[in-house]
């Protein structure tokens, strides 16, 4: 049986630095066996021409639209063609990176990997990596709702152009980003320099409690020659945010399995289209293992992870990143699932 190919979805608004990141990776890993799928908005591609090439590097362009809408069928066909060419030996590759156009909502792209049978069987979505232009993200969030969606879906956020911002601006943007997505680690990068281990093959979609939830991270250093380091982000400030998409955290103790199952079913049925990403690690009454929950819109998975240790107090936490949600109603309903 052939092992599924790991896929990284690279997203971020126009000018955030996706091509710069890719070129830095390709220049320093020219021997990588990689295919990059470039989604261009328009009949003639530009970004694909800007990427470095190598003997084992292939660039495939999906043009004349956005993979999240008008050419989703073409995107699926391109993926299937790549798989056929790999299976025949015509185009061997070990890494697949999909760079979405800066105007794309990642949600429908993510769903494609779970709903299309051939892709589901042969490809394994590894992570959604979102680049964020620290200098311009405030204006982009004010004017383009898709910029918030790109942040919301991220498993890891790469912050660019921090050297062009003063500390006050940077801190304000970090706080705003954190209100949209408080689960994704954030790393500051310069000129595309980022260790591959920070954004490739990080297994963010694995049903594993070790990476199901993070506390949200804030950069504390970012030199031109090295990425920033992580530390837990401080509590979100209380000032109101103009962003429709926000992260909501639901906490409880031990839960009743039937009650939490019914709660999740109601959430997905009533609000699934507005639940962009959600992850949880739940303590179930009578079950020694953690129950891991992960979903995108109405596509959700459940699995048991590691066992609670004797020194731990079982605790349930569910993070929902969504829009237009009746948060207080959901918070009460979540609390009522306690055993």
CATH number of the domain to which 93 belongs:
3.40.50.300
Give the CA count within 13 Å in the CB-facing half-sphere of 314: 19
The answer to the question of residue 241 being in a domain is no
Contact, 133 vs 161, CB < 8 A?
A: yes
Do residue 221 and residue 287 come from a single domain? no
Phi/psi of residue 168, nearest 5 degrees: -65, -45
Q: What confidence score (pLDDT) does residue 155 get?
A: 95
Do residue 216 and residue 269 come from a single domain? no
Instruction: Give the DSSP H or E segment for 277.
Output: strand 275-284
Do residue 173 and residue 312 come from a single domain? no
CATH number of the domain to which 286 belongs:
3.30.1220.10
Which of 204, 232, 260 is a domain's end point? 232
The DSSP line for 14-43 is TTSSHHHHHHHHHHH-TT--EEEEEE-SSS
Identify the residue whose tokens are 């660019």: 160
> Within 10 Å of residue 197's Cβ, how many Cβ atoms?
8
The answer to the question of residue 54 being in a domain is yes
The answer to the question of residue 33 being in a domain is yes
Instruction: Give the DSSP H or E segment for 126.
Output: strand 123-133
The answer to the question of residue 214 being in a domain is yes
In which residue ranges of the chain is pLDDT below 50?
Answer: 1, 41-50, 52, 64-71, 220-225, 232-238
The answer to the question of residue 273 being in a domain is yes
Do residue 210 and residue 111 come from a single domain? yes
Please state the domain count of the chain: 2
Q: Mean pLDDT, the chain, as a whole number?
A: 84
Do residue 127 and residue 206 come from a single domain? yes
The answer to the question of residue 240 being in a domain is no
Do residue 75 and residue 136 come from a single domain? yes
Beta-strand ranges (E) seen in 162-237 are: 186-188, 217-219, 230-232
- pTM comes to 0.86
The answer to the question of residue 159 being in a domain is yes
Which of 232, 267, 301 is a domain's end point? 232
In the chain, alpha helices (H): 18-28, 72-88, 106-115, 117-122, 137-143, 145-152, 167-180, 209-212, 257-271, 327-335
Q: What confidence score (pLDDT) does residue 239 get?
A: 54
Do residue 202 and residue 260 come from a single domain? no
Q: What confidence score (pLDDT) does residue 320 get?
A: 95
Do residue 150 and residue 27 come from a single domain? yes
Do residue 68 and residue 207 come from a single domain? yes
The answer to the question of residue 156 being in a domain is yes
Which of 205, 232, 259 is a domain's end point? 232
Boundaries of domain holding 110? 5-232
Contact, 69 vs 38, CB < 8 A?
A: no
Do residue 40 and residue 81 come from a single domain? yes
Paired residues of 9 in beta bridges: 98, 128
């Amino acid at each position: 049986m052939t092992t599924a190919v790991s896929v990284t979805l690279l997203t971020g608004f126009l000018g955030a630095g996706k091509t710069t990141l890719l070129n830095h990776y390709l220049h320093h890993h020219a021997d990588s066996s990689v295919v990059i799928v470039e989604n261009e908005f328009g009949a003639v591609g530009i970004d694909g021409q800007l990427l470095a090439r190598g003997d084992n590097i292939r660039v495939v362009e999906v043009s004349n639209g956005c993979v999240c809408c008008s050419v989703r069928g073409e995107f699926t066909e391109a993926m299937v063609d790549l798989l056929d060419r790999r299976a025949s030996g015509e185009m061997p590759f070990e890494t697949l990176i999909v760079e979405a156009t800066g105007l794309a909502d990642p949600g429908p792209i993510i769903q494609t990997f779970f709903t299309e049978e051939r892709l589901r069987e042969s490809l394994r979505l590894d992570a959604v990596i979102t680049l964020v232009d620290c200098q311009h993200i405030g204006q982009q969030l004010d004017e383009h709702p898709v910029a918030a969606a790109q942040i919301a879906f991220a498993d890891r956020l790469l912050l660019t152009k921090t050297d062009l911002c003063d500390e006050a601006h940077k801190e304000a943007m970090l706080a705003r980003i954190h209100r949209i997505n408080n689960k994704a680690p954030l790393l500051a990068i310069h000129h595309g320099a980022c260790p591959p281990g920070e954004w490739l093959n990080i297994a963010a979609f694995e049903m594993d409690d070790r990476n199901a939830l993070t506390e949200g991270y804030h950069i504390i250093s970012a030199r031109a020659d090295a990425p920033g380091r992580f530390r837990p982000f401080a509590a979100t400030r209380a000032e109101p945010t103009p962003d429709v998409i926000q992260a909501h955290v639901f906490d409880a103790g031990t839960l009743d399995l039937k009650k939490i199952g019914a709660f999740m079913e109601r959430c997905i049925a009533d609000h699934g289209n507005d639940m962009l990403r959600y992850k949880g690690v739940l303590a179930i009454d009578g079950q020694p293992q953690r129950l891991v929950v992960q979903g995108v819109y109405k596509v959700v998975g459940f699995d048991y992870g590691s066992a609670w240790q004797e020194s731990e107090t079982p605790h349930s936490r569910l993070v929902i990143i969504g829009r237009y949600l009746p948060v207080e109603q959901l918070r009460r309903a979540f609390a009522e699932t306690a055993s």
